[in-house]
Structure 1
């Protein structure tokens, strides 16, 4: 028969062992969660540093965008904002550009500006992506015979200003879906065969930092941008074996026409860069990182935003979009 005091000691030791085992499990889970969080947030930075150092260790690798991806790029939504600056930045590096937008006069003006300044070839295609399926056959015919190496899916549409879903017209909602979801999908599908044929290429999909969480008063827009992320991550794996790069770019606030509903945003600032500065950094990451905010300040902002739980980010976003809505209505003499 085991003495009572020995049973108590045995029980205490067993409990201490179980407690230590549980503590170790909790610490391990915590360390893994922290490691995963930092990897998710800094993998883009690591990829860029790796790409910058590669030429010193593997000088035989292609270095310029032309060497990596070819001499032609297609940019949608290329007459204003980020799309226009992407076209100019790529042309600056000696890449011929195909400009796609809905306004002929603007296309001609941007094409002439790029040709005169950067001495590259240009082609422009008039296409209104809001019209849906009917525009793509025309685009495909116009691109026939052009060895496209880079596709920049930039075209996008936002509300005129943040507002509740019930106040948004059906036409606006369908336009947003056709432009933000269908365009990136069909343009990508259209050009994949050409990229596979060349055994190299890059697809750049412009999303938005707003897709980090659902946003009241911008519900449809943010949902379409979340689609861009999921879509991009999936095809990145599909196309990796074909030497085709897929990059998702998630800008936060940039001073562009899309944000004209807010005087606060349009004033610019440390976290709200002008479109030229933003795009110069974004193009620099092409071929170096599969995912980027495109601007280092935005990367820091994104990092700290992700520290808070999603439910809190949704509520903060609601406060912010209501502020933007009131700001817009007040500035336009409308009832708040």
Structure 2
């Protein structure tokens, strides 16, 4: 299989690809690499300035057409009416549900700042968006018996995740949602994939320098797309899969030791973030 132009996408890319949360990091790379594979792209995100810049970049580099839709996925139900109106009549072959938010830094559940607002935003951006966007585009895919739905989860839903509890729980929903839809619609030739990455260089992770276990968004998405027709539930990148397997093995051998490792790492990350915030 050609990693740059996966077979599973090639037969479906004579149509539009819709990518949410598409102006930075993983989402932007999905938009770019789908465009490289031949898709016209619908870009859905919050910042009009970034949307316009991303659209211009993709059109110039890949000679495809783009459409931009400005919405805030932490807002109310009206945003889905806006999106539905904007995509009416478009043949959508690929949907990438990438938009999502996390904590500003790891924190204990009862110590979260403005927790009610945070909970609402997490639910809207991480759960409602995936559900509503899929419900919006899936009927036409089923009618054509052709389509790809890629939902971006998180490795945090596969491993012990203290101090990211609500975020990890929302991503566990994405995993289960994707699995269920795959079971319901596999006879309709719809490919569903839940990608559950570990750390990737991005604004969300705050990691600026790539490494083996924290790849660039470009390298990560290239790897994940090569697995679309191969793995339905995957970290998307083999070093991340190795990390998840190792941590789960440790936790199965000694639950408390595994939790101690993760909790200590989260606490250290929390302290670093708080110190950085104080300096600012």
Larger RCO (CA within 8 A; separation ≥ 6): 2
The SS at the match of 2:107 is: coil
Tell me the CA shift for residue 103 of structure 1: 0.8
Task: State which of 81, 84, 87 in structure 2 corresponds to 1:137.
Answer: 81
Structure 1 gaps, min length 5:
1-51, 54-61
Residue pairs, 1:80-99, within 5 angstroms: 80-99=24-43
Where has structure 1 moved over 6 Å in runs of 4 or more? none
> What are the equivalent positions in structure 2 for 1:245-284 lying under 5 Å apart?
245-260=191-206, 265-284=207-226
**Conserved in 1, the CA contact under 8 Å of 2:98 and 2:151?**
yes
3-state SS of 2:75 partner? helix
TM-score (norm 2): 0.91
Query: Taking structure 1 as reference, are residues 81 and 208 closer, same or farther at Cα in structure 2, changes over 3 Å only?
Result: same
Name whichever structure is richer in helix by fraction.
Answer: 1
Cα shift readout 1:220-276 (whole Å, capped 9, x = no counterpart): 10110111111111111011011101001010111111112xxxx444322111111
1:228 aligns with 2:174: yes
Alpha carbons 1:70, 1:148 under 8 Å: kept: no
The structural deviation recorded for 1:314 is 3.1
Aligned to 2:157: 211
1:170-249 to 2 correspondences below 5 Å? 170-249=116-195
1:290 maps to what in 2?
Answer: 232
Distance 1:227 1:315, change over 3 A: farther
Structure-1 separation of matches of 2:192 and 2:13: 12
Q: CA deviation at 1:66?
A: 3.2
| Residue of structure 1 equivalent to 2:260 | 315
CA contact (8 A) 2:175 2:233 kept: no
Question: TM-score, normalising length from structure 1?
Answer: 0.77
Q: Is the 8 A contact 1:76 1:100 kept in 2?
A: yes
In the TM superposition, residue 143 of structure 1 has moved relative to its aligned partner by 0.7
> What is the CA-CA distance between 1:305 and the residue it aligns to?
2.0
